[in-house]
Amino acid sequence: MAISWDVNQDYHSSANTDSLCVYHLDIQLKVDFDSQQLTGEVSLSFTRKQKQSTLILDCRDLLIDSITDLEGKLLAYQCREVNPIVGQQCLIEVGLTITDVVVHYRTSSSAQGLQWLTPEQTLGKQCPYLFSQSQPINARSWLPLQDSPKARVTFNATVNVPQGFRAVMSASNNPQMPDDGVFLFCMDKPIPTHLLAIAVGDLAFKATDPRSGIYTEPALLDAAVREFEDTEAMILVAEFMHGAVTT
């Protein structure tokens, strides 16, 4: 018997992107290595494609404390288990006028999209290390969101880390940002959610070219720069190909 597939449906997401579609995230996170947990809030802005009063997000093992509108008014919500692969869906009652919600939450220490390394697992052996792996559908384990390529997002983020650590994200990273425990990021190009990324640890920076560089552990920095010495050449080729396609 032939199986019929709807090519317009994302079978790995429970989000209702065809009705209410998230397009921007404002993220505030605190990184706690002792509890291996991210704590914070994310404000999600969405557009209405249909007359729908329930916003549906993807999540997995998130500990949600509350959900509010931008004024702090509590919103009713319910998290339902879908299956072990897709995780949960979070249904938020937003009425017919709200276009932003704020989710206050914590991650689980077993979040599938986060890897917490002890100092002994790093090259430097002095500091713990955190990195994310959101592909293919693991962003939902560290952020409540519509985890589907159908909901490409821009984002701003503020990440609080212990003193002496550096945070980087899949966004603009200024190597001159003070190492004071608070790091700011901005991604102004809409990206699929599986490209959301974060890393925190004893990180050093070295430029490979005027517009690219490497963040990694200090002892790995020179080797990493050599490994990615062709980055500028690849950027030039990509720009040439993009120009050839658009002209």
> Strands 153-160, 20-32: parallel, antiparallel or unpaired by DSSP?
parallel
Helix H or strand E segment including 226: helix 221-227
pTM: 0.92
Q: Where are the alpha helices (DSSP H) in 46-193?
A: none
Distances (CA, A) of 206 to 1, 104, 210, 235: 57, 36, 11, 18
**Segment 36-78, tens digit of pLDDT:** 999 999 999 999 999 999 999 999 999 999 999 999 999 999 9
**Segment 195-209, tens digit of pLDDT:** 999 999 999 999 998
How many CB atoms within 10 Å of residue 150?
Answer: 17
pLDDT at 2: 56
Q: How far is residue 130's CA from residue 111's CA, in Å, rounded to a whole number? A: 12
Residues 14/17/18/20 CA torsion (nearest 10 deg) = 120
**Segment 143-182, tens digit of pLDDT:** 999 999 999 999 999 999 999 999 999 998 888 888 899 9
Contact 28, 84 (CB under 8 A): no
> Phi and psi dihedrals of 107, rounded to 5?
-90, 160
Q: How far is residue 77's CA from residue 49's CA, in Å, rounded to a whole number? A: 21
Tell me the domains of the chain and their CATH numbers: 20-202 (2.60.40.1730)
What's the mean pLDDT when you consider all of the chain? 94
